[in-house]
Amino acid sequence: MASSAEPNKGVSLTPRQRDILKVVVQRYIETATPVGSSAVQAVGGMDVSTATIRNELGALEEAGFLAQPHTSAGRVPTAQGYRYYVEHLVERTDLPVPEQRMIQHQFHQLRLDMDQWTRLTAAVLAHTARAASLVTPPHATNARFRHLELISINDATCLMVLVLQDSSIHQEMLMLSDVVDQGELSRVSNKLNALVGGLTLRDIKDSTHPELATLRGFEASVLERVLLVMKGAERRTAQEIYRDGLSHMLSEPEFADVTKREQALRLFEQRRLLDLVLSRMLGATGVQIIIGGEGSQSEMEDFSMILSPYGVRGKASGVLGVVGPTRMAYGRSISAVRYVTELMDQLIQDLFGQ
Amino acid sequence: MASSAEPNKGVSLTPRQRDILKVVVQRYIETATPVGSSAVQAVGGMDVSTATIRNELGALEEAGFLAQPHTSAGRVPTAQGYRYYVEHLVERTDLPVPEQRMIQHQFHQLRLDMDQWTRLTAAVLAHTARAASLVTPPHATNARFRHLELISINDATCLMVLVLQDSSIHQEMLMLSDVVDQGELSRVSNKLNALVGGLTLRDIKDSTHPELATLRGFEASVLERVLLVMKGAERRTAQEIYRDGLSHMLSEPEFADVTKREQALRLFEQRRLLDLVLSRMLGATGVQIIIGGEGSQSEMEDFSMILSPYGVRGKASGVLGVVGPTRMAYGRSISAVRYVTELMDQLIQDLFGQ
DNA sequence: TGTTAGCAGTCGTCATGATCGAGTGCTAAT
DNA sequence: ATTAGCACTCGATCATGACGACTGCTAACA
C-alpha cells in the first residue's frame, strides 16, 4: 500500500512500544495536544504504570518516533512516527457500506461530462475524508488524435476544437493571417481528420504518408498547432487540478496561526508544487502517502498528502487524493482515497476498458 | 457608477463632515483599528481642534454613518458610511499605466482558450486588487447552435460535443440503448448540423422545417439532449465560477477569528450564493458595489463585493469582480475591476463584435 | 452661535506576577 | 523489568494595576 522513502532504519519496536506509539499517534490526531504518559495509560487500556510508559516514551523519543515540544509537555509524533504508524499500525478499515452507497448514488445519478465528473470526485473526496482534496481529470499518456473541428469566429480568428481518444477536449483560438471562410475551414479539418485520425503523436511524426509532406501553408500551420496541443496534453499532469474542501483543512487548529495559514493557502493556490507532486504520482501504483513533504520541497514541511493514481493506465488515468496537516486523520483519509480510487477505476474501466 | 439600494435618506452632510467621514473610512481601511478624533486631525490635516472633530463625529454617528465598538474607542464606518464613501467620497483613480501595460501584456502574450482566459482574468484581478476575485466565463444569453459532433467511445456510450455561437463548448456522455457505430453517429450529427445550425433555442422550437418533425428515435433523443444543454447554457450564470486570491482575503486581520474565517470559506466554496449574486449582476450596467451583502442573504453580512458585467451584451458576456470584508480597499478594487472590465470588453469586442 | 480648552470618566491593552497542574526524568525499592 | 515516589520544569490561566486612547460634557471664548 504505502511507499517507504526511508526503510525505517534498523528499527525493531517491542509490541508494547508499538501499542504505545499507536495510542500516542491516534490520540494526538484526535486532540491536537501533546499526549502524556497518563493519557496513554487511560486511553490505551494499558495495565502497566505510567512510569513504565514514561520509560517507553523516552525510548521512542530516543529512536526518533516522538518528540517533546517542551520539557514538561507530552509527546508528539515526528514524521518518522507517522510513517511507522501508517505502515504498520493504522487499521485499514473499509468505508461504511451506507456511505459507499451514497457515493455511488451520486456518481450514477448525473449524466456528466469529464469536468463535472472530476469536480464531483473532488467534492465527494473532500466530504468523505473531511479534508482538502485534489483531483486531476483523467487523460491518456499517449495522446491519440480523434477528431478536429475548425470553427470560424470572425475574419481573423477561428476556434480549434481537438478531441483526443481519451475524450479530453482541447480548445484554442487560432489567429489567421488571411481571411479563411467556414467552408475552407471545414475542408481543412476534414482533410486532417482523414489523414491523422486515430494516430498518436509519434505515429504522425513518423508517418510516411505522401499527403502529409505536401500540406500547404495554412493546413501545415493547423497541423503544427494540433501537434503542439497533443504534446501539451501528454506532458501536463492535467489542464487543471480540481480542488475542494479547503475549509476542512483550514479549520484545523494548526492553522489558527497566520503564517501557517498563508503557507497552506500558498500550497493550495500555487499550481507549481502540486503539479510536481501529482505528476510524479502518475507513475506510481496504489495509495501513496507523503508525510511532511518527504523528499520534496521544504514548503510542504508541515503537510501530508495521501494520493493515488486512478483509471486505466495509459488510456485514461489521473491522480486523486487529499492534503492536510501532518496531523491528519490518516485512517479515514486512506479509506476514502482507496474507495474513491476503486470506484473511479471501475467507472473508467467501463468506459475505456478494452 | 454605483447602485444605490437606499437613497441615503435625507442626508446632507456639511463639507467638513464629508472630509471627516472620508478620513475615517480611509484610515480605517488602512489600519483596521477604530479611528479617534486626534487621528482624524493629524491624518486629515484639519485645522480645527479635536473637540470640534469629536462633535462632528458624534453627529456622523447620530446620522448612522459611523459606530463605536465600545465607549472609549474611536469610530468605525457602518455599511451606510461605506456606501456614502463609495458614492461620493472615493477618488476614482485609474490604474497606473505601467500596471496597465503589464496586464495587457499578459493577455496578449498567450494564445488561450476561453477557460484559460477566464482563469488568467481571475488571477490578474486578484493580483491587481490584492483581493479575492470571481470571474465567470463569457457566454451568450441566447444560446445559438453552432456545431455538433458525436464521437463513439464504446458500444454503449458516445461523447457529444456541442459548440455554441459564443464558442462555448459543452460535452456530455450519452448512453445508447442500441449499439451505434461511428459512421451512424457522423451521419446523425451531420444531419442535425444541417438542420439546426445557426439557430437559437426558440428558432428550433418554432421551426416548421418538415424534417425536424420526422426525426427517428435516436436522432430525436440526441436533439432533445442538445436542447437541454442549450437551455442549461442559457440559464446558468456559468458552468463554473473561477476564483483566485483567496489568500489575500484570508490574510486580512478580520479573519483571524475562526468563525469569520469559516464564514468566508463557506461563502467562497459554496456555489449557491455566488451563483445568485452573480447572475443578478448579468442584467446590470457598470460597476456595482454591494456592501455588507445589502439586500441579499445575511450570510454576506460582513462582506462586500465589487462586481461588473463585461463583454458584449447578449453575444458573449460574463461577470467579474472582487470580494472582501466590508473593510476593503474600495478605491483600488474599483479601479482594478473597472480596468479589467474595459480590457475584457475590448478583447471580446474584437472577437465577437459585429 | 460655533469653536475650543479642559477635565472627568470609560474601557481595552499590556506587562507583571502568582498559582496551578500536567508531565517529565531520576532514584530507589520491589 | 517494573513501579512508586519525588523534585522539578514550564506553559496556561488569571487577577492586578498602570497606561493611554478615547469619549462626552461643561464652561469660556471669538
The alpha carbons of chain B give a radius of gyration, in whole angstroms, of: 26
Query: Per-residue pLDDT tens for A223-253?
Result: 999 999 999 888 766 568 999 999 999 999 9
Query: Per-residue pLDDT tens for A35-72?
Result: 999 999 999 988 999 999 999 999 999 999 999 999 98
B55, amino acid identity? N
User: Quick one: which H or E segment has residue B60?
Assistant: helix B50-62
CB contact under 8 A, A251 and B244: no
CB contact under 8 A, B167 and A147: no
Q: What pLDDT score was predicted for residue A178?
A: 86
Instruction: Number of helices (H) and strands (E) in chain B: give both, helices first.
Output: 14, 10
CB contact under 8 A, B269 and A244: yes
Contact, A118 vs A317, CB < 8 A?
Answer: no
Q: What is the least distance, in Å, from the CA of B288 to any CA of chain A?
A: 27
Mutate to test the interface with A, among B148, B159, B239 (most CBs of A within 10 A): B159
And the C-alpha cell for B223?
Answer: 436533439
Angle between helices A15-31 and A50-62 (to 10 degrees): 90
- The reply to whether A123 touches chain B by the CB within 8 Å rule is no
CB contact under 8 A, B351 and A157: yes
Residue B136 CA, chain-centre distance (Å), reads 6
Contact, B184 vs B191, CB < 8 A?
Answer: no
Contact, A107 vs A120, CB < 8 A?
Answer: yes
User: Quick one: which H or E segment has residue A171?
Assistant: strand A169-175
B169, B240, B250 ranked by CB distance to A161: nearest: B169
Chain A residue numbers with beta carbons less than 8 Å from the beta carbon of B111 are 172-175
Q: What is the least distance, in Å, from the CA of B286 to any CA of chain A?
A: 27
And the C-alpha cell for A248?
Answer: 476542512
Q: What is the least distance, in Å, from the CA of B345 to any CA of chain A?
A: 16
Phi/psi at B162 (5° precision): -120, 125
- Separation of alpha carbons B1 and A212, rounded Å: 56
Decide: CB of A38 under 7 A of nucleic strand C.
yes
Region A303-327: mean pLDDT is 94
Which of A:50-79 have CB within 8 Å of B? Answer: none
Q: What pLDDT score was predicted for residue B5?
A: 42
Region A287-312: mean pLDDT is 90
Q: Point out which residues pair with A350 in neighbouring strands.
A: none
User: Which segments of chain A does DSSP mark as H helices, in order?
Assistant: 15-31, 37-44, 50-62, 79-84, 97-109, 114-129, 182-196, 201-206, 210-213, 217-235, 246-250, 258-269, 271-281, 330-352
Which of B:311-350 have CB within 8 Å of A? Answer: none
Phi/psi at A163 (5° precision): -110, 130
Residue A21 confidence class, pLDDT cut points 50, 70, 90: very high
Cα–Cα distances (Å) from A38 to A46, A70, A71, B111, in that order, read 10, 17, 16, 63
Residues of chain B with pLDDT under 70: 1-11, 111-112, 236-239, 354
Contact, A322 vs A288, CB < 8 A?
Answer: no
Q: State which residue of chain A sits closest to B252, comparing Cα positions.
A: A258
Residue A354 confidence class, pLDDT cut points 50, 70, 90: low
- The reply to whether A258 touches chain B by the CB within 8 Å rule is yes
Residue B277 burial by Cβ neighbours in a 10 Å radius (0-12, 13-18, 19+) = buried
Contact, B320 vs B341, CB < 8 A?
Answer: yes
Q: CA angle, corner B250, sides to A118 and B136, nearest 5?
A: 45
A147, A163, A173 ranked by CB distance to B112: nearest: A173
Q: Tell me the residue ranges of DSSP E strands in B236-352.
A: 242-244, 288-291, 303-312, 316-325
And the C-alpha cell for A249?
Answer: 483543512
Residue A7 confidence class, pLDDT cut points 50, 70, 90: very low
Region A199-217: mean pLDDT is 86
Query: Per-residue pLDDT tens for A137-182?
Result: 988 888 999 999 998 888 888 899 999 988 888 988 888 888 888 8
Q: Point out which residues pair with B132 in neighbouring strands.
A: B323
Residue A6 confidence class, pLDDT cut points 50, 70, 90: very low
Chain A residue numbers with beta carbons less than 8 Å from the beta carbon of B265 are 246-247, 250-251
Strand arrangement of the beta sheet that strand B157-164 belongs to: B145-154, B157-164, B169-175
Q: What is the 3-state composition of chain B as percent helix, strand, coil, each rounded to the nearest 5?
A: 50, 20, 30
- The reply to whether B231 touches chain A by the CB within 8 Å rule is no
* pLDDT, greater one: A121 or A108: A121
Decide: CB of A334 under 7 A of nucleic strand C.
no
- Separation of alpha carbons B244 and A271, rounded Å: 12
Region A248-271: mean pLDDT is 89
Strand arrangement of the beta sheet that strand B132-135 belongs to: B242-244, B132-135, B316-325, B303-312, B288-291
**What is the number of alpha carbons within 13 Å of residue B85 lying toward its C-beta?**
30
And the C-alpha cell for A223?
Answer: 497541423
- Separation of alpha carbons B13 and B28, rounded Å: 20
The per-residue pLDDT of chain A, averaged, comes to: 89
Interatomic separation, CA of residue A21 and C1' of nucleotide D3, rounded (Å): 21
Contact, A285 vs A309, CB < 8 A?
Answer: yes
Q: What pLDDT score was predicted for residue A165?
A: 87
Contact, B41 vs B90, CB < 8 A?
Answer: no
Q: What pLDDT score was predicted for residue B295?
A: 73
Q: What pLDDT score was predicted for residue B11?
A: 58
Decide: CB of A247 under 7 A of nucleic strand D.
no
Query: Per-residue pLDDT tens for A74-102?
Result: 999 999 999 999 999 999 999 999 999 99
Which positions ≥6 away from A130 have C-beta within 8 Å? Answer: A245, A248, A329, A332
- The reply to whether A170 touches chain B by the CB within 8 Å rule is yes
Q: Tell me the residue ranges of DSSP E strands in chain B.
A: 66-67, 76-77, 132-135, 145-154, 157-164, 169-175, 242-244, 288-291, 303-312, 316-325
What one-character-per-residue DSSP string does A138-165 give? PB-SS-BEEEEEEEEEETTEEEEEEEET
Q: What pLDDT score was predicted for residue A99?
A: 96
Decide: CB of A59 under 7 A of nucleic strand C.
no
Decide: CB of A70 under 7 A of nucleic strand D.
yes
Decide: CB of A52 under 7 A of nucleic strand C.
no
Strand arrangement of the beta sheet that strand A288-291 belongs to: A242-244, A132-135, A316-325, A303-312, A288-291
Cα–Cα distances (Å) from B290 to B273, B323, B334, in that order, read 14, 10, 12
CA nearest to nucleotide C5 C1': residue = B51
Contact, B264 vs B250, CB < 8 A?
Answer: yes
- The reply to whether A262 touches chain B by the CB within 8 Å rule is yes
Interatomic separation, CA of residue B52 and C1' of nucleotide C1, rounded (Å): 14
Q: CA angle, corner A187, sides to A184 and A191, nearest 5?
A: 145
Q: What pLDDT score was predicted for residue B4?
A: 41
Other CB atoms within a 10 A radius of the CB of residue A201 amount to 18
Q: What pLDDT score was predicted for residue A233?
A: 86
